[in-house]
């Protein structure tokens, strides 16, 4: 039995929520702030009044993208680093423990469900504050949950993910799902800072090439996954922050260089239980 081949078969059915793309009638939510998503080992439980948070059942209705789900799953699935040529180009492996067998369900946090209340962003032509920094995936760029966060083109502006773990975790993977707009973006530690529990992590260059060339072009570069390995979590409250740390203008009022962020996913966290409180009410404004 070739276990390496068997592993994706075991895990892929469990991670449909990670690849969920926009569907016409199910992705919007009427939120309350009490939603809790908890993922333990092999399954995800969502507790919410209207059950509007990502569930695998929602992904198959009204989805007209012919390649969306399949593409996302193959990119985000365990083992894809070895099997996907494109991932080698964009990945940022740091010599993680590739021999570790870990069937934990990928823990996904949508950028559009983070707390944006105090955020003030800058875009190509003017800025946006709070929930208005959320964009809808109208050009079918493969955004998980159909939405993403942009307007991150300002120095020291951060996108913050807070979550809990019931135990310490060593050597997890962090996957960023990103794209670029208006101009190609190449992220390095010199211009972009990713922190885990407020400690900057090292990552290899992330290239987001093939962006649209103007804000009037009706196209968005498809989102792509970028893996950073060897992430440690602590028991209790954890944070992951994506921080724009440069003043390299991308044109217009984009004062800094930054990616567009769809979601982040944590993989290979063993038997820990991870949970967070997604701000699903952010999308109330899109009703």
* Comparison of 37 and 110: residue with beta carbon closer to Ca ion: 110
Region label for 132, one of left (φ > 0), alpha (ψ between -120 and 50) or beta (otherwise)? alpha
* Comparison of 144 and 238: residue with beta carbon closer to Ca ion: 144
Contact 147, 53 (CB under 8 A): no
CB of 97 to Ca ion, least distance (A): 28
CB of 271 to Ca ion, least distance (A): 27
CB of 162 to Ca ion, least distance (A): 17
CB of 134 to Ca ion, least distance (A): 9
* Comparison of 144 and 246: residue with beta carbon closer to Ca ion: 144
* Comparison of 151 and 255: residue with beta carbon closer to Ca ion: 151
Q: End-to-end CA distance of the chain, in Å? A: 50
CB of 226 to Ca ion, least distance (A): 15
**Best CA proximity match to 263, nearest among 172, 157, 137:** 137
- Chain positions contacting Ca ion, by CB under 5 A: 110, 143-145, 262-263
* Comparison of 112 and 267: residue with beta carbon closer to Ca ion: 112
């Amino acid at each position: 039995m070739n276990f390496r081949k068997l592993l994706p078969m075991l895990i892929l059915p469990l991670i449909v929520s990670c690849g969920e793309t926009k569907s016409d009638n199910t992705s919007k939510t009427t939120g309350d702030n009490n939603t809790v998503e908890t993922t333990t080992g092999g399954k995800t439980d969502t507790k919410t009044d209207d059950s509007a948070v990502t569930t695998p059942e929602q992904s198959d209705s009204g989805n007209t993208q012919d390649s969306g789900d399949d593409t996302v799953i193959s990119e985000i699935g365990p083992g894809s680093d070895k099997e996907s040529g494109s991932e080698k180009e964009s990945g940022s492996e740091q010599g993680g423990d590739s021999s570790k067998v870990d069937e934990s369900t990928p823990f996904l946090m949508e950028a559009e469900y983070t707390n944006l209340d105090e955020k003030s962003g800058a875009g190509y032509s003017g800025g946006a504050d709070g929930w208005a920094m959320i964009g809808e995936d109208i050009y079918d760029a493969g955004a998980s949950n159909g939405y993403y966060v942009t307007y991150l083109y300002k120095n020291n502006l951060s996108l913050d993910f807070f979550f809990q773990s019931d135990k310490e975790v060593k050597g997890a993977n962090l996957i960023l799902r990103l794209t670029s707009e208006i101009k190609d973006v190449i992220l390095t530690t010199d211009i972009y800072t990713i922190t885990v529990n407020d400690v900057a992590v090292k990552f290899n260059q992330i290239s987001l090439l093939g962006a649209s060339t103007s804000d009037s072009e009706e196209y968005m570069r498809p989102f792509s996954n970028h893996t950073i390995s060897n992430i440690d979590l602590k028991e209790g409250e954890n944070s992951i922050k994506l921080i724009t740390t440069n003043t390299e203008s991308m044109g217009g009022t984009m004062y800094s260089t930054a990616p567009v962020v769809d979601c982040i996913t944590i993989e290979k966290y063993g038997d820990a239980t991870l949970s967070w409180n997604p701000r699903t009410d952010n999308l109330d404004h899109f009703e």
